Structure 1
Amino acid sequence: MQAAGIISDSQTYGILLDGLCKNGHISEALSLFHVMESNSLHLDILDTARALFSNLSSKGLQPDVKTYTTMIQGFCEEGLLHDAKELFVKMEHNGCLPNDVTYNTIIRGFIGQHKCYEALILVEEMVQRGFSANASNSSLVIDILSTKGQDPALQEVIKKYMPKDSHGMQEIE
């Protein structure tokens, strides 16, 4: 289009992406999406990602853990925690198990929106599945722990999460 002297805006690109996805040209849509990013065209990236994501299964493609995690991260960054949690649940329902990166991503999203109780429930689930928090999330949990006036039930969840030192003692109390 630009070679023909036509200047495209984000709306034009959005229409092209939609058409490519609807006609099964997912790889071309992804390539166009990357061109848009490199040209710093600003359209609602999350809406575009949603469209691409929703078209994967209709084309017989199954999203992997990295794809789900990327979408969950996008929802969290936009403050759409309900959508993030819904996709998190759907991912496992669709046979794609979350990994430590997925858990840490959604936990960080909940903590960032001051939904600490929900985040710590996810931490507990993550630990039960054999995963551990990354350093960033660990420091956020320590910050929560140091806050005065916490709900006793929340304190119990935190204590279950916090690692023990070499003497078997809780590191932070």
Structure 2
Amino acid sequence: MILSFFSSKSRNHLARAFHSGKRFLNPSSGYIVFRAICVNLKHRRWSVLERLSPKLTSSLVSRVVCEFQNSPQLALDFYNWVGGLFSHSLDSCCTLVHVLVKSRRFDEVLFLLRNLITEEGTPPLVLLEVLVESYRRCCSSIAAFDALVRGCTQVGATEGAYDVIYNLRSRDCFITIHAWNNFLNHLLQLNEIDRFWNLYRGMGSFGYIENVNTFNLVIYALCKEYRLVEAISVLYRMMKGEIFPSVVSFNIIIDTACKIGNLGLSLKLFKNMTMMSGDFVWPNSVTYNSIINGFCKNGKLLLAEEMLHKMVKADIEPSVRTYATLIDEYARWGSLEEALRLCDVIVERGLVPNNVVYNSILHWLYREGGIEEASLLLADMIDKHICPD
């Protein structure tokens, strides 16, 4: 009788509402288990969860992990707890990846991805497919795909990283410039210079614009091929494009110039880097160490020690490694007194000589026949629990 007061359209709305309400009042057993797990996980009632564990399925695990996106530690704890009961599905693994990525817990993300690739033997493209499928459900970000590329490079899965990058491109989805630079750097570490240049030249087709890290990689690639003039031209190209070089940009060229004996070029860059960068960059400990090492390798020990004094005057603390370079070269050139003098300087500055310093002096003492002095030094090493190589 009451329904007769409503139009046909209104009756349909009421009927749908009634059936929806009926479903709400009679939820499925899966929904009940899901809610029970969530409530007890929130309060860390592991004993109750233990009793619910026979009801767990892989899809239910993924659903619970996704539900706790705002409590990533709980999601991770639950994931690890389930791992003690049965093996995770790839979907639940990728769901956790998305959750951890959203909370920027990238170390744990990379550990998980590396394990999936190496221990589980999951091909990167299979991982990508599941990450894509779970992407929307977890409201994730492109950082998940960045992490996959990084995970691949960390375990040496170069082709896997390459396949992921190009597969994403076919989906009109791209990794960020940071992951792109990571892959370019990986190629350089493998000394795959030709492949680096091919990929670098194709950046435009991927829609990328070079940043300071990209340019640093280009400088590094040029220096690996000893093309120093071109490397310096990249510095000017950066500044022309209003991208300030970093101290790394200069250090790469300075270090390469020192290694090939072009100390004049390294000193010019050292003196002019602040001016060239518009007072944006100053020499750091790496800069000084590279030049000191360059002088030492070319037998210019007085100039090396002069640079050491400049380093101290610039309020940049020399490391034991800095002194070790000088000590080894003094000893090599037969100036053991100077080498031992620098050992005293190390102690005076509150540093502790390491096995590199001791081994260097031991080597040259034995070589010059200073057996007694070498024995005393060796005893001192033993007292200080320093193991000779």
1:53 alignment partner, one of 264, 270, 291: 270
Alpha-carbon distance change, 102 to 82 in structure 1, aligned in 2, over 3 angstroms: same
| Equivalent in the alignment of 1:121 | 341
Alpha-carbon distance change, 106 to 44 in structure 1, aligned in 2, over 3 angstroms: closer
Offset from partner CA, 1:21-54 (integer Å, 9 cap, x none): xx9x9839x58x76xx7xxxx9753222111111
2:323 alignment partner, one of 99, 103, 112: 103
Alpha-carbon distance change, 111 to 62 in structure 1, aligned in 2, over 3 angstroms: same
Displacement, 1:143?
A: 3.2
Structure exhibiting the larger radius of gyration computed from Cα positions: 2
| Equivalent in the alignment of 1:74 | 294
Alpha-carbon distance change, 101 to 19 in structure 1, aligned in 2, over 3 angstroms: same
Q: Check the 8 A contact 2:296/2:329 in 1, yes or no.
A: yes
Find the aligned partners of 2:228 and 2:304 in 1 and give their Cα distance. 26
Q: Which has the higher helix share?
A: 2
Alpha-carbon distance change, 75 to 44 in structure 1, aligned in 2, over 3 angstroms: closer
Q: What's the TM-score once normalised by structure 1's chain length?
A: 0.61
The CA RMSD measured in Å over matched residues stands at 4.2
Displacement, 1:113?
A: 2.1
Moved segments of 4+, more than 6 Å? 17-20
Find the aligned partners of 1:162 and 1:69 in 2 and give their Cα distance. 30
2:356 match: secondary structure = helix
2:334 match: secondary structure = coil
Structure 1: which 5+ residue stretches go unaligned?
1-9, 169-173
Structure 2: which 5+ residue stretches go unaligned?
1-226, 385-389
Identity %: 23
Find the aligned partners of 2:303 and 2:271 in 1 and give their Cα distance. 14
Aligned length: 147
Q: Check the 8 A contact 1:91/1:98 in 2, yes or no.
A: yes
User: Higher RCO, 1 or 2 (CA under 8 Å, sep at least 6)?
Assistant: 1
2:245 alignment partner, one of 8, 17, 27: 27
Q: What's the TM-score once normalised by structure 2's chain length?
A: 0.31
